[in-house]
Amino acid sequence: MINKKDAGPPSLLNRLVSLTTIRDVELFETSLLKTLAELLKINQIAMYRLSQTSMMCWLSTHSTNLIQDDNKRQFSESQEIYTSEIVIPEEIKSAQLWVETTKKPYIQLQGNQYLVVYPIFAANKIESLLSFELSHSLTEGEMLIITSLLSITYNFRSLLDESQKDKLTGLLNRQTFEANINKISSLTLNSDISQQPNGNEQDRRRTKTGTEEFCLAIIDIDDFKSINDRFGHIMGDEVLLLLSYVMKQNFRAKDLLFRFGGEEFVVIFHVPDQAEAAKALERFREKIEAYRFPQINTVTISVGATLISETHHLASEIIGRADQALYHAKNNGKNQLHFYESLLESGHIVEKKETGTIDFF
């Protein structure tokens, strides 16, 4: 019988098996960075997810606390991955140009450390760049580890993406909504804990939201049935495709965009406050109104929105609040944006605390 203490570290095959059991894209990327850090025995690794249309990128950084024991480096508990939107650093731009020109990883000696920038390709384009430092130049064995891991896991990642996307628009599908909203609700609750005097350091470290909030908005195409009736379902699908295209252009890469069903869409995004959320949503509403759709010409949308708070964090509550605001927009002229919180404050909606029901005026 094998003693677990003598079993040694998990093999590359075991790590691949572990990674390919994950069904959450964000968790998958987190686990991939952690796995690479452990296999390469490095204490920090970053992933720059590039945009094809701007100089911005999404940076995810994984760090591992290291302890010394008898002159041997050992790994302690891993920190959370921190994600933020940044301007692509000049050093990463230079590395990207090198990779695009040579089709090889960028390896540069800096002081007594080697900076390694390793590409992740998708459809023959660089999708992301991995960046880490080594005390030595990248060996053939280490390159084989990285190449093997990325090749297999990113084929799996493509399948994972496909299972979570709406086949017509390419946005996230409704099946993924509840998992995402539950994850965000958990973050909101943790944020509330971390702001309290007795919130522990781990909670504060995991929560990088500061004073920002999440906003959820339901977007509904006005009179979509009449578009299908007048122009046919093919043109109706064209409207859905073009609207989703404008959504992707208007919102950030890390914002969650869903096709919720039929002509209804949902967006969840991070904002400093309701005023900034309203600006982003109003800007999108205006862009759709100004967009010229083939044959149909003008299409408008109604938007109902709410902030996700620790007091209303269940998926049914959040979507219900936004839906009430959308109902108000639809019944008061369409082509407009309303926030649940503003309607509540103005008295257009009255929430009965004892029953949770809502009256409209």
For 192, the token pair is 């509330």
CA distance 113 to 80: 24
Q: Cα dist. 80→60, 67, 359 in Å?
A: 10, 18, 43
Closest CA to 39 of 120, 123, 148: 148
- Determine the Cα angle at 327 with ends 323 and 331, to 5°: 170
- For residue 108, what is the enclosing H or E element? strand 106-110
**DSSP code, position 42:** -
Helix extents (H) in 165-223: 177-194, 201-206
- Which 3 state secondary structure label does DSSP give 322? helix
Q: Exposed/middle/buried for 4, CB within 10 Å: 0-12, 13-18, 19+?
A: exposed
Who's near 115: CB < 8 A, 6+ residues apart?
91, 106, 107, 108, 109, 131, 133
Q: Cα dist. 33→38, 43, 127, 147 in Å?
A: 9, 11, 15, 14
Q: Which residue out of 38, 142, 201, 263 is catalytically annotated? A: 263
- For residue 114, what is the enclosing H or E element? strand 113-122
Q: Taken in order 267, 268, 273, 274, is the CA torsion positive or negative?
A: positive
- Say if CB 296 and CB 289 are below 8 A apart: no
**DSSP code, position 335:** S
Q: Is 85 a catalytic residue?
A: no
Who's near 309: CB < 8 A, 6+ residues apart?
188, 213
- Say if CB 145 and CB 40 are below 8 A apart: yes
The residues assigned a catalytic role are 263
